[in-house]
């Protein structure tokens, strides 16, 4: 998983690679916790290279989403792959997290809200 932080308006972009299972999602949780500690609460997850997500990974994502929102931030996803999209839909995550086709659209959505 790679991480990019120099985005406009303090928006952080996290690029996820490979499977989004419990192991990788714990790493993501730590990354998100670090961002929260730095008062960076507008986050975009780029899922273009994420191939699969399991239930435990979704639980971790939902928990971090709730934490970020409790601090008046939000998480958006971009470039979601079909298999990951199906997993999101199967447990209702697609209703909780806004999804966009591009990084530009996701960043702009934060600027409209701000």
For the stretch 31-44, pLDDT in tens is 999 999 988 999 99
pLDDT the model gives residue 3 = 53
For 8, counting Cβ atoms within 10 Å of its Cβ (0-12 exposed, 13-18 middle, 19+ buried), the class is: exposed
**Of 46 and 6, which is predicted with more confidence?**
46
CATH number of 2-113: 3.30.750.24
- Whether residue 31 contacts residue 1, with contact meaning beta carbons closer than 8 Å, is answered with yes
Residues 47-64 have a mean pLDDT of 90
Q: Where are the domains of the chain?
A: 2-113
| pLDDT for 7 beyond 80 | no
pTM (predicted TM-score): 0.88
**Of 114 and 46, which is predicted with more confidence?**
46
pLDDT the model gives residue 2 = 56
- Whether residue 57 contacts residue 88, with contact meaning beta carbons closer than 8 Å, is answered with no
């Amino acid at each position: 998983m790679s991480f990019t932080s120099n985005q406009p308006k303090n928006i952080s972009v996290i690029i996820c690679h490979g499977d989004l299972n419990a192991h990788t999602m714990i790493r993501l949780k730590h990354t998100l916790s670090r961002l929260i500690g730095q008062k960076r609460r507008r986050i975009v997850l780029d899922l273009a290279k994420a191939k699969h997500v399991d239930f435990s990974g979704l639980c971790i994502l939902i928990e971090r989403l709730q934490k970020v929102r409790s601090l008046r931030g939000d998480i958006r996803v971009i470039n979601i792959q079909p298999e990951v999209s199906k997993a999101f839909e199967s447990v209702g995550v697609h209703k909780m997290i806004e999804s966009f086709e591009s990084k530009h659209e996701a960043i702009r959505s934060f600027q409209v809200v701000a």
